[in-house]
Amino acid sequence: MRKEFTEVNWGYAIRNNIPWISSFAAEFHGPDIRIYGDYEDDRPNDYIWSSIHLNEFTDEKMIYERASALNAIFDGAMYVDIGTSYEPFWNRHIAFLDNGWAITNFEPNPLVEPFWQEYVDSTPKPPDDFVSKIIHKSRYDKSIREILLFLGVNGLSWISLYAVLDTIKSEGWNDKAIIAKKVATAAELNLFGHTANNVAAIGPFARHGNKGQSPPDNPMPHKAAKELILRILKKFIAAKL
């Protein structure tokens, strides 16, 4: 059996039945997170998600918490790249790759510092593939890191979509600027906000409780909301890369 993961200590197994995992892993070569093949003969028997940032620690709790933060950033970047069809594959079993011994008895903690500063300082050059570029940028850009963590932890819920838009607006991309960039119309932004904030429109998925406000006549479907905010987000991040 041939293993690619010689420089990393910890990771978790990814199921091999994801249709796109082989082609994605072949192109995903960033310095922060990698997906490695665990080969038997000429074909990978499994894939391993890992990060050299986990090498900084020997304490199991610190390793696990950093892995959860890095995985949230990874999931957020994947939502940006793949869109609404992405399904996270974090299995919460971080294993020591030399012998497969797993850490499972800690809680994820996306609030910890995800990056090993010494390694960050030694790898300043941005990578080539889009997902790795986003992750690399999140080392230095607070708003991108916040957005990726929000999406990675909460998924594409109405609340997280609204939080993403809030963060984008805090960077100077107000409604007028977004409309001027031709990534959304005023009608789309207004309907999104009216739907997301209205419990009468989307019930327990709303950002607010019952404030007595009338729902929109035709609430925005969740699918349309996800596509709208991810479209704006992709444009926002591309402008920063």
Give this prediction's pTM: 0.91
> What is the pLDDT averaged over residues 134-151?
97
Q: Are residues 125 and 41 in the same domain?
A: yes
Q: Are residues 173 and 113 in the same domain?
A: no
In tens, the pLDDT along 92-132 reads: 788 888 777 788 789 999 999 999 999 999 999 989 999 99
Last-in-domain residue among 151, 175, 198: 151
**Phi/psi at 95 (5° precision):** -115, 145
> What is the pLDDT averaged over residues 204-219?
79
Q: Are residues 12 and 126 in the same domain?
A: yes
Query: What six digits make up the tokens of 206?
Result: 């709303």
pLDDT score at 47: 87
Q: Are residues 121 and 175 in the same domain?
A: no
Q: Are residues 101 and 196 in the same domain?
A: no
Q: Among residues of the chain, what percentage have pLDDT more than 90?
A: 67
Domain count, the chain: 2
Decide if 195 contacts 225 (C-beta within 8 A): yes
Tally of CB atoms within 10 A around 52: 18
Last-in-domain residue among 95, 126, 151: 151
Q: Are residues 83 and 35 in the same domain?
A: yes
Q: Are residues 42 and 147 in the same domain?
A: yes
Q: Which amino acid belongs to residue 184? A: A
Q: Are residues 66 and 130 in the same domain?
A: yes
Identify the burial level of 2 via C-beta atoms within 10 angstroms of its C-beta, where 0-12 means exposed, 13-18 middle and 19 or more buried. Answer: exposed
Q: Are residues 6 and 29 in the same domain?
A: yes
pLDDT score at 40: 63
Give me the domain span that covers residue 147: 2-151
- Rounded-to-integer distance, Cα 221 and Cα 119, Å: 43
Last-in-domain residue among 151, 166, 192: 151
What band does 177 get if pLDDT is binned at 50, 70 and 90? very high
Q: Are residues 9 and 98 in the same domain?
A: yes
Q: Are residues 93 and 193 in the same domain?
A: no
> What is the pLDDT averaged over residues 212-220?
83
Instruction: Tell which wins on pLDDT, 9 or 100.
Output: 9
Q: Are residues 193 and 93 in the same domain?
A: no
pLDDT score at 41: 60
